[in-house]
Structures are given as structure tokens and as C-alpha cells.
Structure 1
Amino acid sequence: MTPLLTTRDLRKNYGGLRAVDGVDFTLLPGEIHAIIGPNGAGKTTFVSLVCGRVMPSSGTIIFDGDDITDLPAYRRVRQGIAYTFQITSVFAHLSAYDNVALPMQRTLTDGRSRAKLHAGVMNALERTGLAGRANSLAGTLSYGHQRLLEVAMGLALKPRLLILDEPTQGLSDGEIAGFMDLVREIAQDATVLLIEHNMQVVMGLADRITVMNAGRILAEGTPADIRANDEVQRAYLGTEPA
């Protein structure tokens, strides 16, 4: 299968700090791929390089066969990469509906799209469980609902690759279960790259897992592979190998 995303020797340096240090990474179309690792491992910096929020010090990023290494973030959005932030970035003084409508407008190409816009916005809100809060100001939503609103905003872009950075932070147990169902549904039409600390979510969702530590890839494989990896157990899962 031809990869949807490939990085080659990808690096990001901040002075003497190597936040991302020579990462070779492959993402297959249609998979749910999780990136895990301790705080400071380079996970968010890595996905920021992929979506164009940060430019690399060196290395190459290939998306669907095209070199996007030097493309700005908005050009990558047009190519089908959507990213939800680790810290919520909704427009607090706009309604949930309007927050979704803003990115949705980018996907519409004709002037007779009012009905299509409304249908698309409500579909994204319904999928994330927020249809009943469409008219609520985003700033009045709970933190967990703001996280879900960001996912709805990402879905509005109709991405081929949806990057989710700590999406379950602030969600209740019931909301997490619903979120996992949503990600499985999204993966029927798009590829999902997920940064997540909740290991039950990771092990329950991911087809493959990449473990990062100190800016490098420590291990990669299926959930079963990662559970059985001695280095991962020591560096991240906090257990000693049997």
C-alpha cells in the first residue's frame, strides 16, 4: 500500500534542543495511528511539522506523493490535512455553529451553497454530539465540549488526514466512549493521526502506535507489539518487564 504520509530524517532544532531528531515515519491511508510518549518527547512538535504550523530545520515531508516540506499551513489544509490543537482554539465569542461554518466555507466552491453549508455544519455537529448546542457561544461550552467542537471544525474541512492532539482531555468517561466510536467512523473516510495519553483510548483505537522519546522514535508496531516492548515499558508505560 502506498503511504499517505512519509517523513524522512525530519528534524526541528531550537538552539541546542533537538525537539524532533531525525524522524522517519510512515502513515498508511485509512489507518488510525497513535503517537505516544512522555512529556517533552517531541510528539506535538512532530505533528506541528506535518501540518505546517512549524517549519523543519531539515528533512522531508511527503503527502500523497507530493513534497509539502516548504508549504505553509493553509496550503496543507487545502491538500487535505486538518489539525486540532492541544490547547483549545475555538472562537469563544462565536456560536458553535459559526465556529464550524468558518472552515466549512473553505470547502464550498459555488455561490449557491447556503443549504449545503447548513447541512454540512449540522452534520459535523451531530457527529460530535453538539447539534443541541449549535447556538451556544463556544466560550460557554465546557472544556470537553470545546474539544469536541474543535473536532467538528476539523471534520468541516473534509480532511484526508485528521490530526488530533490530546482530544480526550477534559472528556467524561461517557464522552470518551462516544469519541472512540466517532474516530472509528471518521476512519472509514479519512486517515487519523492521534496524540493521546489515555492508554485505554490508544490501545482501543490504534491500528499502529509510534512511541517517541527525546525527539526520536523509540518503537513502532501494533498495540500488542508496544505492550510487549521492554524499552517502552521502562520509558513510558512505567512498568518493569516481566
Structure 2
Amino acid sequence: MSGALLSTRGLSKRFDGLQAVTEVDFDLARGEVRALIGPNGAGKTTLVGMICGRVAPSAGTILFDGEDITGLPAHRRIRRGMAYTFQITSVFAGLSVHENVALAARRRLTGAVRVDAAVSEALARVGLSDRSEEEAGNLSYGHQRLLEIAMGLVQAPRLLILDEPTQGLSDGEIEGFKALIREVREQAAILLIEHNMHVVMELADRVTVLNFGTVLAEGTPAQIHENRAVQAAYLGTG
């Protein structure tokens, strides 16, 4: 795709004889919300791990903003504007909510005033302003997920990768999350790994379906919903 923010070509990974991902070609445009779905064991986590730099590919290339980043370590991909909620922004249970986000903010900002302002903004965006001084370990699971999102947002990424972000959220919090994604897409492309199909269908511009490590289908949410191969492999309606 011309002008894609993220592109992979022939991306593959083999673990001790197991072919986890096979020759995936993938393009993500600037400002796009792309959902990545598929059954358990389809290769989603491995694919995202290669994109983030946590898993070395066996073959293929990864381009980010036109630059070949296939051999770059994860921390250098972060500096180029990539954030991943699980592997970049782990929650430190013994630190306050504010301190967790501040640690992430310092990846790009210096000065206590600038950091504090960015932290306050990020917490407000995810609805955790009133939990700022609470220990992160005391948050509910759903609120810890929101904290991870705040830690991603405070880095002002160009690509935000969210792995199962609505897991553990209440219905009201899911509505807030959807509003947040619609706002964030104005500044960043979003890759969303999500099992909640209502969220996928409402938020995604396009959906990529993985099955047995290969791309089974790609298209708009409506096209994916009507795809018979996807229905049989994943949606359970075939």
C-alpha cells in the first residue's frame, strides 16, 4: 500500500519445527483502525511480537514509515513511534497509577512539569484521574487495562497496538473505550487484537483474519462478517 505506515512482506516465524506464522503480507495506513482477529493459536501474538521487535522473524521484512526495521530491537521501535500495551507498558503493581504513567512519559519527555501535565492528560482520557495516587496493584483487572492504555497514549505513538484492551471492562467502560479510540485515531494508527466482535465491527476500518498462521481474509467489517471461510473458521456460523 502506497504511503502505508506499517508494512510486512513475507513475514514468517518457525519455532522448533512449528510454523507459527507463514508469509504474512500486511499494510496499515496512517490513521487507520485495523482489527486483527482469529481463533486461539492462529498466530496473532507471534505476528504482533515480530512487529514490535519482541520476536525475531525467521523470514520476511517489516517497514515502518518506509524504513526497514526488521532487525531493530524493541526499544528502538518505541523511539520511532510504536507502542504496544502488553510488552512495552507493563504495570508496576507497587507504584501509583501516576508513577506508572510517568515512567512511560519519560521515554519522550524531560522535566517534571511536562511529564506531570502529560500524565494528567493521559489519565483523564482513559477515565482514571480519580485513581491517580492509588497503587496500581489495587486496581481491578479492567482498570489495569485502562492504565496500560494510558501508558501507551502518553508516549504519543504513531502506531498504538492494543492486545485485548476490552477484556475485564464493564459495558460502560467499553463505551468509553470506543469513544477514546475514535479520538486517538486522529493522531495515531491503531492495531487492535480483540475478541469482542461488537467492538471490532464498530471500530475497525478493516479487519485481518489469521488462521493457522496465514491470512485467511481481509476486508471491511461487513465483508468479514459475510465471509463464509471466516464464519467456518472463527465466527462459528459456517
Range of TM-score over shorter length: over 0.9
Q: Tell me, what secondary structure is at the counterpart of 1:224?
A: helix
> Aligned pair 1:158/2:147, yes or no?
no
**Post-superposition offset of 1:99:** 0.3
List aligned pairs for 1:85-100, cutoff 5 A: 85=86, 89-100=90-101
TM-score where L is the length of structure 2: 0.97
Residues matched between the structures, number: 236
Q: Extract unaligned runs of 5+ from structure 1.
A: none
Identify the range of structure 1 (114-123 vs 67-76) with the bigger mean alpha-carbon deviation: 114-123
Aligned to 1:138: 136
Unaligned runs of 5+ in 2: none
| Equivalent runs, 1:22-33 vs 2, <5 Å | 22-33=23-34
Q: Deviations over 1:114-141 (max 9, x none)?
A: 2111110000000000010000000000
Report the RMSD for the aligned CA atoms in angstroms: 1.1
Distance in 2, Cα, partners of 1:85 & 1:100 = 14
Runs of 4+ residues deviating >3 angstroms: none
Q: Secondary structure at the match of 1:47?
A: helix
Q: Deviations over 1:29-62 (max 9, x none)?
A: 1000000000000011111110111111111000
- Alignment TM-score, normalising by the size of structure 1: 0.96
Shift of 1:182: 0.6
* Structure 1 equivalent of residue 56 of structure 2: 55
What is the identity, as a one-letter code, of the residue corresponding to 2:76?
R
Q: Give CA-to-partner distance per residue, 1:158-208, whole Å, 9 cap, x none.
A: 100000000001111111110011111110110000000000000000000
Query: Residue deviations 1:217-238, cap 9 Å, x none?
Result: 0000001110111100100000
Separation in 2, partners of 1:171, 1:32: 20
Between the aligned partners of 1:168 and 1:19, the Cα distance in structure 2 is 25
CA distance in 1 between counterparts of 2:164 and 2:107 reads: 25
Q: SS of the counterpart of 1:8?
A: strand
AA paired with 2:214?
A: R
1:92-131 maps to which residues of 2 (within 5 A)?
92-109=93-110, 113-131=111-129
One-letter code of the match for 1:137?
E
Which amino acid letter does the alignment assign opposite residue 4 of structure 2? P
The one-letter amino acid of 1:115's match is V
One-letter code aligned to 1:122? S
2:199 aligned partner: 201
Shift of 1:89: 2.8
Amino acid at match of 2:78: V
One-letter amino acid matched to 1:33: R
1:147 corresponds to 2:148? no
Q: Distance in 1 between matches of 2:201 and 2:54?
A: 28
